Structure 1
């Protein structure tokens, strides 16, 4: 899971969402009515999907696990809890079928004060609550919110852990290739590898490597050429 930038919507789309919310409120925002209204809004969903696709990590990846294709729009706060959130732009994220249907479903844990215990990657940096162990691909919770996020989204399932561990090996190899290309004057080739690296699944692995690059001993964990390439990537994006 990586932090995501939620863009402002085009005014026309924003007005459509507001009208739908107003209509739902006037009719009484029950769960059944919210689900029917959402199901009957295919054109609106397509427009939202286009924005979410651009906002997603990699190539339309799930905003929770970062591995699978983001198959559907998920309501971060479930309609069962808040039917009026059906058309709230801040409540829409892209999720894969496994994270959405097999794990999260209508789960929305809160603390004693009623505050959400799930990390919303469009509102906060997941690294505040989750530590990714690069070599093993495992997530460790830094906070109670991190622990709930791991459990609800199934971030500790074996396929994801193994995938992140493999992604670390793949990222290191591509970063070494970038360093070699730059040393040999192959700027264009380095740019191509960097572009490919940016759309790999498990974007959280590269994000964690970027966060680690300035820490003492980063070269021992990641590798010295890889750290140099990470700095180059950061400058490239700025």
Structure 2
């Protein structure tokens, strides 16, 4: 998971979302609202294609899932499930891009809350996942920094899916190599090649690994976190390299 910026929808789409929400709100019972929401959402002639188009632009890498960061995002997930809160079915702030596995196999209609009813899952367009999750880079596993982080680990199976854990370990090795290649290309004055290395690095699956590397290099315990990898830490702390990788405007 990485921090994402939610963008504005076209005005026409916003208007249609409001109309559908009014239809749902017009039902007299909660059961009727759930049924109406499900029926409207199932209609593929609604705004779903327009929502998907914007979500894919917001997603990390090449349309990666906003939860696991590995697989292609193909589904529109309702952060607060429509079966639980039908009035948020067409709420743009409630939509995230997910892969079919995270959406249908892992999250489904799960929505853990704390004792006061606040959501425990992290919406990466509202909260920075780095505040709730720490990636142990050599192991490819997450450690919770908060109850929200633990809920994400449990609900999305972030540590129980071997393909994700192994993928992060491999992504860490690939990212280290990319940093070295960037330094070599830059030292040779090959600016175009250096920019290409940056672009490819961020477009790969599991970009959360690269985010974690730069974040942890600034930690007070960075020397311990990167024990035995002094060369990697030096690259991550290189001001020129940091600017090249982190200034992607």
Looking at structure 2, the residues matched to 184 and 141 of structure 1 have their Cα atoms a distance apart, in angstroms, of 41
Q: 1:235 to 1:49 in 2, by over 3 A?
A: closer
Contact 2:60–2:203 (CA under 8 A) maintained in structure 1:
yes
In 2, the alpha carbon distance for the partners of 1:127 and 1:107 equals 22
| Aligned 1:48-197 pairs, distance under 5 A | 48-156=51-159, 157-197=161-201
Q: Please report the TM-score for the alignment, with normalisation by the length of structure 2.
A: 0.90
**Whole-angstrom distance in 1 between the partners of 2:5 and 2:175:** 23
Give the ranges of 4+ consecutive aligned residues of structure 1 lying more than 4 Å apart after TM superposition: 218-221
Partners of 2:79 and 2:246 in 1: how far apart? 33
Change (3 A) 1:92 1:158: same
CA deviations 1:51-97 (Å, max 9, x no partner) are: 00000000000000000000110101111110111100001000011
Match of 1:225 in 2: 235
Question: Aligned to 2:47, what secondary structure does the other structure show?
Answer: helix
Q: Is the contact made by 1:179 and 1:226 (CA closer than 8 Å) also made in structure 2? A: no
Aligned to 1:9: 9
Are the equivalent residues in 2 in contact too, given 1:68–1:96 (CA < 8 A)? Answer: yes
Query: Is 1:210–1:230's contact at 8 Å kept on the other side of the alignment?
Result: no
CA contact (8 A) 1:176 1:226 kept: no
Separation in 1 of the partners of 2:152 and 2:198? 30
Q: 2:126 & 2:247 partners in 1: Cα distance?
A: 25
- TM superposition score normalised by structure 1: 0.94
Q: CA-atom RMSD, angstroms? A: 1.7
Once residues 226 and 114 of structure 1 are traced to their aligned partners in structure 2, the CA distance between those partners, rounded to angstroms, is: 40
1:3–1:124: 8 Å Cα contact kept in structure 2? Answer: yes
